[in-house]
Amino acid sequence: MEGARFCPACGAGLADAPAPGERRKIVTVVFADVVGSTELGERVDAETLRWAMQRWFAAMGQTVERHGGTVERYVGDALMAVFGVPVAHEDDALRAVRTALDMRDEVAELHEELSGARGVELAVRIGLNTGEAVTGAAVAGGSFTTGDAVNVAARLEQAARPGEILLGRDTGWNPQRRDDGSISFRDIVRRHWPHAALGLVTGITAFMIATSLAAWMSPTIVGLLLAIPISWMSGQRAIGLALRKLGFLTTPEETAPPPIAIRANELYGEFAQLGFDGADALAVLHADPAVRAWHELLLPAASPRRRGEIDPDRAIAEAKLVDAETIDDAQGWLKPKERIVVLSDRALIALLAQLKSRSADTA
């Protein structure tokens, strides 16, 4: 029944229908923030600051539009851009990464102008994340995108250092996803029809020269001729899931978990039965310096991180610990996966140790 809030058959509550024009999509979100704009405002007059910010916003807006993105909002000296809205492209994530690189170059040029005249250091920090979001029309016009992908991109931007670009786990990893995880057939034909044509010409030419040559080149010829259907099949999410159900496209760990994973799951179940979780572990490490020192001694050495590589869970956990004032805040804000990240990272444990205790806050 139209307008019903409960199912007339079973009585279950019905989810609210999305507002008109809203839809769930896979998008790539870019947050960019000028580092040093506050210092710039203290050293120069209002007209110079306005000129610098206008240069920044104009250059960034042109860069985003040039790569096929949409600037959704400006907040202070920061902007948010979305790729995949209103039109999705096969390489939206790649377009966003190229936009971020161009943004950094634009700020470098602006920095050269200001540093010579005013001695002001100006840089940009950028965060990108790809994920599922809800997009629709904003009240004031334009588009409006919300979702966890937007929040993670903002956190990554806050965690970035000046001049650094932090990418979410899915940005660039799966740039060909669509709303249903597939690639449109039109895009496949547009990309691969030259290969199919080359296979046809090669096959005819080889057969005219000698049948033995055609037979010898048959694997290459067949591969070129079947480029379009093979690409279409490999790009369909439904076909991929069906092959996984049949046992194809799986890793050994998925078919037979390693012994260490089996034992870890058993220990997790035992701790759950005892009522002990990651929040309790955070409290123990915070309250007892001796246990904390012993725990850090048992942790393996941290692996070096390359510039541009970021773990979203760690970035979010670090941002929450920085915002937290007490151990109660950390226990309430951190999700189970983020707690595990904190417990395995010496730098995050150090942030945890600096938080106020319950007793100190109560007193």
Residue 342 within a domain: yes
Residue 147 within a domain: yes
Residues 3 and 8: their CA atoms lie apart, in Å, by 11
**If you ran DSSP here, which 8-state letter would residue 17 be given?**
P
Structure tokens at 142: 């334009």
Q: Using CB atoms within 10 A of its CB, is residue 343 exposed (0-12), middle (13-18) or buried (19+)?
A: middle
Residue 254 within a domain: no
Domain holding 302, by residue range, is 259-362
Residue 58, domain CATH: 3.30.70.1230
The answer to whether residues 197 and 279 belong to one domain is no
> How many other C-beta atoms can be found within 10 angstroms of the C-beta atom of residue 241?
12
Residue 73 within a domain: yes
Question: β-strands 78-83, 165-167: how paired?
Answer: unpaired
Residue 285 within a domain: yes
Residues 71 and 62: their CA atoms lie apart, in Å, by 9
pTM for the complete prediction? 0.44
Encode pLDDT of 188-245 as tens digits: 888 889 999 999 999 999 999 998 998 999 999 999 999 888 888 776 767 777 777 7
The answer to whether residues 211 and 322 belong to one domain is no
155 contacts 315 by C-beta, under 8 angstroms: yes
Comparing CA positions, the residue from 313, 24, 308, 304 lying closest to residue 172 is 308
Encode pLDDT of 157-174 as tens digits: 888 888 888 888 666 554
Residues 318 and 355: their CA atoms lie apart, in Å, by 13
Share of residues in the chain with pLDDT > 70 (%):
74
Is the sign of the CA dihedral 182, 187, 189, 195 positive or negative?
negative
> Total domain count for the chain?
3
Is the sign of the CA dihedral 35, 40, 41, 47 positive or negative?
negative
> How many other C-beta atoms can be found within 10 angstroms of the C-beta atom of residue 189?
14
Encode pLDDT of 20-51 as tens digits: 456 788 888 999 988 867 766 777 777 777 77
